[in-house]
Amino acid sequence: MSRRPPEDAEAAAGIAQLEGYLLCQAEIRTARAEGDAFARRMAWLTTAQHEEVARHYADERLALSKELLGAVAARCVELQDEYEARYLALRQRLLCRCVALLLVSCALSAAAGFLTLYR
């Protein structure tokens, strides 16, 4: 497997960071819009109360989103560790079987050589 040149890895990291920023900004916009929509349903609120309710709603929504994102990220790390361990075990098994096959082939070739030599 070939490695990316440092410039490509740096560019990929920059793009990933930009994508994360844009997703975060979209989540903030969505939370604020939902907070505003929630507060609008309470027509009796004053302007200041409306803004406060909308802000609290958005803050709670963003905290929940952050918590969920953290849980998903933690699970991704767990899965990556599990898959890496499984892949390593599969590679080791394959290597052991290939070495065993090579040894059996060598033994059979030697046996065939001895049989033809002593006939």
* pLDDT on residue 21: 95
pLDDT reported for residue 119: 76
pLDDT for 102 equals: 97
What burial letters (b/e) apply to 47-62, b meaning 16+ CB within 10 Å? Answer: eeebeebbeebbeebb
Are 35 and 58 a contacting pair, CB within 8 Å?
Answer: yes
pTM value is 0.67
pLDDT for position 118: 83
Secondary structure (3-state) at 64 = helix
pLDDT of residue 3: 67
pLDDT band, residue 78 (cuts 50/70/90): very high
Identify the residue with better confidence: 117 or 28: 28
Domain spans in the chain, listed from the N-terminal domain onward: 7-118
